[in-house]
Amino acid sequence: MLVALALYAVAGLVGGAIPANDAWRPPAEGVRIFVESNGVHTGIVVPKVAEGVDWRPLVRPEHLADPRYGGHTHLSFGWGDRAFYLETPTWSEVKPATVLAAARGSEDTLVHVDHVPEPIPGVEVRAITLRPEEYRRLADFIRRTFADAPRHYRGYGPYDVFYDAKGSYSFRRTCNAWTGEALRHAGVRVGRWTPFPVTVLNWF
C-alpha cells in the first residue's frame, strides 16, 4: 500500500509538472479569475456576471442557508465525490475508508459552490487573467459539470451549497484534476494531470 501511494504521488507530481497549452500567456487585460485551495480541494473563483456569462439564474441566493450571502460578487466552483466532499472538508477530517472508496471510483458527484467577495491573492489564492473567449470556454466547462436540472443541498455553512453533478470521480480524476481540466479546456497553461492542490497552484 505504501509503495502504491508513493508511486501515485510521484506520478501526480510528474504529471502536474508537464505543461499543457505551453504557449499560453496571460493577457494584459481581461476577466480576472482565481484558483484557491483549502489544502484538500481546489476551486475556481469567477465573477457572477462577466463577458455575457451570468451565473445568477443557475446558482441562486435562495439555495443558501442564509440568502444574504448571495449579495457577494463572486462564486467559487469545485467538483468531487459526494462522500469525500461531505466527509472531508479539511485534512483533520480525512478518513482512510472515505479516501479509498473515492479512489476506487464513484458516479455520485457534486459541484460545490461558495458565494464569496472578490478574493485577495496569497499563498492559497492565485489570480489569473483570461481573454474573454477563454473565460467563456471555462464557464462552458463548469456549466456542463452540473447535472441536468440539478438538486441542491445544504453546504458547510451559510454561504455555500452543493449541486448534483455529472462525471466520474476516481484516483485519476480527483477534485483537483477537475480544476486542471477546466483550465486546460479554457486554454490556460497548466499541468497535464493535476491530482493534488500543489499541482494546480504551482502554475500561477
Q: Are 119 and 30 in contact (CB under 8 A)?
A: no
Q: Which three cell numbers stand for residue 46?
A: 469567477
The pLDDT of residue 10 is: 86
- Reduce the DSSP state of residue 79 to 3 states and report it: strand
CA distance linking residue 179 with residue 112, whole number of Å: 12
Amino acid at 29: E
Half-sphere exposure of 61 (CA within 13 A, CB side): 11
User: Can you spell out the DSSP letters for 96-135?
Assistant: HHHHHHHHH-BS-EEEEEEEEPPP--BTTEEEEEE-HHHH
CA distance linking residue 137 with residue 142, whole number of Å: 9
| pLDDT tens digits, 125-134 | 999 999 999 9
Residue numbers of the chain with a pLDDT score lower than 50:
none
- Reduce the DSSP state of residue 31 to 3 states and report it: strand
> pTM for this structure?
0.91
